[in-house]
Amino acid sequence: MTSWVVRQATTKDLDAILVIEQAQFPEPWTKGMLLDELTNHETRRYTVAVDATQVVGYLGLMYVMDDEMHINTIGTRPGFEGQGVARALLGDGWADARMRGVQRATLEVAVSNKRAQRLYQHYGFAPVGIRKNYYERTREDALVMWAELGTDAPDGLLG
């Protein structure tokens, strides 16, 4: 089992994040888009999971209002899936959201991405709708999921 730490992402992490983004998604964000996200500290929070030698995952959050958070993107380096990287990143994100007073969270996920949906359900997300043809290149629908951040959930989990 590889160990890693979760820390704030910096522009020095951009190339590593881009590699993961391109490996994981059929419509990856561009370098310019990711740079804009990483440098927008008012409404964005990007973190990375880092082992001794490399970035093994990342999470991008957007704070929409004082009480709402949107998961923009999350990715795990190929070969590190199923090792808890995404859970560690999400746990850290929930802790930050709670400190900010966030009450609810939302995201979109490809309807075919059952593994990600199971992860999000673990954190209390539930489907609330479909965005038809959401992904431009693949024309795949996105499942819209929402969660309420519970005040008494253990270990930063949504409740």
Q: Which of 21, 46, 108, 123 is flagged as catalytic?
A: 108
Active site residue 108: yes
Active site residue 134: no
Tally of domains within the chain: 1
pLDDT of residue 65: 83
Domain containing residue 58: CATH number: 3.40.630.30
In which element (H, E) is residue 38 found?
Answer: helix 31-39
Contact 36, 46 (CB under 8 A): no
Mean pLDDT for 33-42 is: 94
Name the pTM for this structure: 0.89
pLDDT of residue 158: 41
Q: Which residue bears the tokens 């075919």? A: 112
Domain that holds residue 90: 5-156
pLDDT of residue 150: 67
Closest CA to 87 of 98, 99, 101, 76: 76
pLDDT of residue 18: 96
pLDDT of residue 26: 86
Q: Is the pLDDT of residue 154 over 70?
A: no
Mean pLDDT for 42-53 is: 94
- Residue 103 CA to residue 41 CA, distance in Å, equals 20
Token pair in block for residue 101: 């007073």
CB atoms within 10 A of CB 28: 18
- Categorize the per-residue pLDDT at 3 as very low, low, confident or very high, splitting at 50, 70 and 90: confident
Q: Is the pLDDT of residue 6 over 90?
A: yes
Q: Which of 120, 123, 134, 135 is flagged as catalytic?
A: 120
pLDDT of residue 111: 95
pLDDT per position as a tens digit, 71-106:
999 999 999 998 999 999 999 998 999 899 999 999
Single-letter amino acid code for the residue at 138: T
The region, left, alpha or beta by phi > 0 then psi within -120 to 50, assigned to residue 133 is left
pLDDT of residue 153: 43
- Residue 151 CA to residue 52 CA, distance in Å, equals 34
Q: Is the pLDDT of residue 155 over 80?
A: no
